[in-house]
Amino acid sequence: MSTHTSPPPMQESLLDVLGRKIFVAETGDGPPVLLLHGGGPGASGVSNYTRNIAELAKDHRVIVPDLPGYGRSTKGVDGTDPFGDLAAGIRGLLDELGLDKAHLVGNSYGGACALRLALDTPDRVDRMVLMGPGGIGTTRALPTPGLSSLLNYYSGDGPSRPKLEKFIRTHLVFNAADVPDSVIDARYEASIDPEVIAAPPLRRPSGPDALRTLWRMDFTRDARLARLPVPTLVLWGAADKVNRPSGGRMLADRMPNCDLYEVAGTGHWVQFERAGLFNRICADFLAGRR
């Protein structure tokens, strides 16, 4: 496996945001960029972007939160409007940090959070990079095997390390050997936090409003997408088994200011699997060089 630069020392804080705690790590100077992590079991901010932080921090103030429901942030997400709840939390974090506007980089669940924040308050987002974001065409096809595996982690016989390893090595990445055992160990330990088990942050909508929630969680049903002015770069692994790569074309067809880059031989974790490529393209895009 190729070598990767580890994250530099980061300033850590636990901030009060709209009645809950959000954990934030940051480093670097320059235009602010928030890195929003995915929603898999045991995910957290710094661990999801371990191969990207140092490179992006050369030219940016890199801010890496644990999304509500994850890591060291307050657990629990509003199941009737999860993307809206996440977006409200991150918008509140921008307020708490005194930032009128920032770049957003979001993978999967974090990509859905970024896109919802941009749709609700486009003036708060400078440029946006989305990697295999959630909520794209989800009402137009059955869930992928990868997404089903993710959503079933806490159901049935409950969470286990073999269950998590199967999801990561079989569904999350293209090359299973690219993920060290230590990453799976750390994510498994985080995934069995009693507070997370009591309120999993990513689950199938249920109850009487489930259909309304599902509809709201599909951005291709949102008319605002066609008017969104935020310059956006979509990166999608061509072998993504969690969110279908066809979602990239859906966004490019609907958004007026969207570049699409499909990455060959890559799964759902573009920023991890193809870190060198991602870091170069992302840095160029955020700097307005493309």
The DSSP code for 169 is I
Active-site position among 60, 103, 171, 268: 268
CA distances from 105 to 79, 109, 127, 203 (A): 23, 11, 9, 23
Element holding 236 (H helix, E strand): strand 232-237
Q: Is 60 a catalytic residue?
A: no
Rounded Cα–Cα distance for residues 14 and 73 (Å):
8
Structure token pair of residue 36: 């929003």
Please check whether residue 132 is in contact with residue 63, taking contact to mean a CB–CB distance below 8 angstroms.
no
Please check whether residue 75 is in contact with residue 154, taking contact to mean a CB–CB distance below 8 angstroms.
no
Please check whether residue 137 is in contact with residue 250, taking contact to mean a CB–CB distance below 8 angstroms.
yes
Active site members: 268
